[in-house]
Amino acid sequence: MFPNIVKILVASLSTFVVGILATPFLTKFLYAHELWKKTSVQKSLDGGAATLTSALHNDEVRKTPRMGGIVVWGSVLIVALGFMIMSFFVPSATLLKISFLSRNQTWLPLFTLIAASLVGLIDDYLVCRDRGGHVGGGLSLTKRLILVLIIAAIGAYWFYVKLGVSSIIVPFAGEISLGVLFIPIFIIVMIGMYSGGIIDGVDGLAGGLFSIMFTSYGIIAYYHTQFDLAAFAFAVAGGLLAFLWFNIPPARFFLSETGTMGLTTTLVVIAFLTKAVVVLPIIALPLIVTSASSILQILSKKYRHGKKIFKIAPLHNHFQAIGWPAYKVTMRYWIIGMMLAIIGVVITLIG
């Protein structure tokens, strides 16, 4: 009998190796075409001067390319399609068992990863061509949200109509059917989780946290005997570790929108496929807190006559602004992320 754990091991190691081997070619291209942000952000989301943000990131001096997320989704796509093609042309029971593409488990997360990442890639390219110093540059927030909404709607349709899934598992309470409410809940969760992508920006921070989150859901999927989905989640984690190898200080590139857009939306799909979306707020709490800190900062400045809650938002930048070195922010976030992941996985397994 072919052990399913081998499928997972091969998937994660393959994406890691592909990512490591592909990175020198990618970085050469990114640096040759100067695909980095040309000017620091000059205005915040509320229209005010972003003096602290500009000083903290200093994009004019630190010419670090964006689009590092290509390492992650590119390696996953190459490995997933590579195994499928090899199993088709080389009739082998082993290759068939190693391939992790399946209609009911991995078609949707792979589609989501690639579709959202390509949207993010377009945004990154436009950001690299923008010299105005606006917040984010590239595609407007409205356009990005509309595109995420479209991807979420396709995902909700696939779940509800094609897979016949309309329920979630609540730990210690069992499976609960949501009926048609599954569709709006799925869309809301995906849009909400996407907002947490602003956690990118400190060397190693986002890559480490996302690898922890996808590993957690890989374990949950394995527990539910969703072995293809588990292999896919660990494949993403392997790609993230390859990215992280080059993203630790000093970063060779940033994850940026082509990374965070694909990863946040795909994480939601996996959470619903495992029916363990209830523990997503625990496992992905760093993303939620990051998004919430920016929202609270905007509301505070608007309704409290310009008063701030944080020196700078999002929260990880606040810690930098009060004197924490970047490596301390990253390592402490990793520690918190690991503890939250353990809690989320344990609740799922015993619930």
Q: pLDDT of 72-83, one tens digit each? A: 999 999 999 999
**What pLDDT does 97 receive?**
81
Whether the predicted pLDDT of 132 surpasses 60: no
Nearest to 70 by CA among 38, 22, 36, 128: 22
Q: In the predicted model, what is the mean pLDDT of residues 130-155?
A: 83
Which position has the higher pLDDT, 91 or 57?
91
Torsion of CA 133, 314, 190, 204, to 10 degrees: 90
Q: Which two tokens mark 309?
A: 């809650």
* 298-344 residue pLDDT tens: 999 989 888 899 999 899 999 999 999 999 999 999 999 999 999 99
Which position has the higher pLDDT, 60 or 35?
35
DSSP string across 17-67: HHHHHHHHHHHHHHHHTT-B-SS---B-TTSSB-HHHHHHH-TTT---BS-
Whether the predicted pLDDT of 125 surpasses 90: yes
Whether the predicted pLDDT of 53 surpasses 70: no
Cα distances (Å, whole numbers) of residue 21 to 26, 143, 174, 240, 262: 10, 34, 44, 14, 21
Across the chain, mean pLDDT equals: 90
**What pLDDT does 40 receive?**
63
**What pLDDT does 91 receive?**
72
Question: pLDDT band at 123, cuts 50/70/90?
Answer: very high
**What pLDDT does 88 receive?**
79
DSSP string across 141-199: HHHHHHHHHHHHHHHHHIIIIIS---EEEETTTEEEE-GGGHHHHHHHHHHHHHGGGGG
* 265-293 residue pLDDT tens: 999 999 999 999 999 999 999 999 999 99
* 104-116 residue pLDDT tens: 999 999 999 999 9
Whether the predicted pLDDT of 52 surpasses 70: no
**What pLDDT does 160 receive?**
95
Which position has the higher pLDDT, 201 or 239?
239
Beta partners for residue 168, in sequence order: 176
Model confidence, pTM = 0.92
Whether residue 151 contacts residue 174, with contact meaning beta carbons closer than 8 Å, is answered with no
Whether residue 219 contacts residue 274, with contact meaning beta carbons closer than 8 Å, is answered with no
- Chain centroid to Cα 25, Å, comes to 23
As a whole number of angstroms, the distance between CA 264 and CA 210 comes to 9
